[in-house]
Amino acid sequence: MNMPVRSGPGISDHTRGVLAALVVVLCWSGFNIVSRLGSKGVMTPFDIAALRFGVSGVIALPYFMSRVAPRDWPRYLVLALFGGLGYGLLVYSGFAFAPTAHAGVFVNGGIPFWTIVIVALMSGFRLARHIVLALLLSSAGLVLIGYESLIAPDAGSRWIGDILFLLAALTWAVFGLLMRRWAVRPQLAISGVATFSMLIYMPVYLLWLPQAISASPAAEIALQAGYQGIVAALLAGGMYSYANQKIGSCEASMMLALVPGVSAIGAFFILDEALTVYVVVGIVVVSVGAILGAMPPGAVLKLLKRPRGV
């Protein structure tokens, strides 16, 4: 846990980290909507992954190669296996079996869950009470948001997608914890992930994986390439890495619980999807949990003990 440290006039490092996490929430909420649009088209999950890794890798390669010595590449390769290839392939494959609502519950709920579990198991870290309460609130809210989709009678093979989403959450949690443990600078971490993901994935994709991108409309390709390759891979990844450094792995991951609610609101306006009572209540509960989880250590107790009228 990080104590708030001033890094400039009028704003603390903790506040900067929270703001970065909110940018991630907006980016990942759009990611759910754009990925859903992509899954309704002719592109395969491998095509969407190729656009993500190809675009981000081409942009990041010169920056990474000019700033990181070859002796340090193994760490970035490991980060790419978890935060790039592992996460991307698992989550895109999950969209082929399960709807976006399931991704919101199992990915964005799974990341803080796995993060807190790993921290507790590996370091013997005793979790602060407000983190435990925040996790419980966020989990309850996420279940409410995805409730109607999760109990749908025509479940079919959705359970396969749910497992893939949970595994994707695990890979992202490991990525965040490794990046923080190794104290890798956010811009280097995300450029390294993009570079090695492209170098490993693109040859395999071009030679052996199913492709339908040539049959896709140019507008759809441009949308997926721009959002997946720049916004999701570079901007969101970089902001999450920054938030991870400033407010801690547990707190940064807790903020991701806001993504399903923001996605649902965006889908209401963009995709004309209904907002049910379950979703609205879930959004409120998740928001309370995320705000509680992002607060610095001791802040909750100080707030409760604050004299009235002050």
Structural domain count of the chain: 1
HEC string of 51-116 equals HHHHHHHHHHHHHHHHHCCHHHHHHHHHHHHHHHHHHHHHHHHHHCCCCHHHHHHHCCCHHHHHHH
| DSSP H stretches of helix in 107-150 | 110-123, 129-150
Residue 123: band (very low, low, confident or very high) from pLDDT cuts 50, 70, 90: low
CA distance 210 to 186: 33
Range of the domain at 71: 13-305
The closest alpha carbon to 277, from 147, 109, 106, 107, belongs to 147
Per the CB < 8 A criterion, the answer to whether 36 and 200 are in contact is no
Higher-pLDDT residue of 60, 105: 60
What pLDDT was estimated at residue 3? 46
Q: Residue 3 falls within a domain, yes or no?
A: no
Asked whether residue 156 is assigned to any structural domain, the reply reads yes
End-to-end CA distance of the chain: 28
In a domain, 310, yes or no: no
Kindly state whether residue 53 falls inside one of the protein's structural domains.
yes
> Cα–Cα distance between 258 and 296 in angstroms, integer?
18
Within 10 Å of residue 309's Cβ, how many Cβ atoms?
4
In a domain, 1, yes or no: no
pLDDT value for 198: 97
For residue 8, being part of any structural domain is answered with: no
Q: Which of 62-66, 99-103, 149-153, 304-308 has the highest mean pLDDT?
A: 62-66
**CB atoms closer than 10 angstroms to residue 152:** 12
Identify whether 4 is part of a domain: no
What number of other Cβ atoms are within 10 A of residue 305's Cβ? 7
Average pLDDT over residues 193-210: 96
Q: 0.75 exceeded by the pTM? A: yes
Write out pLDDT tens, residues 58-86. 999 999 999 999 999 999 999 999 999 99
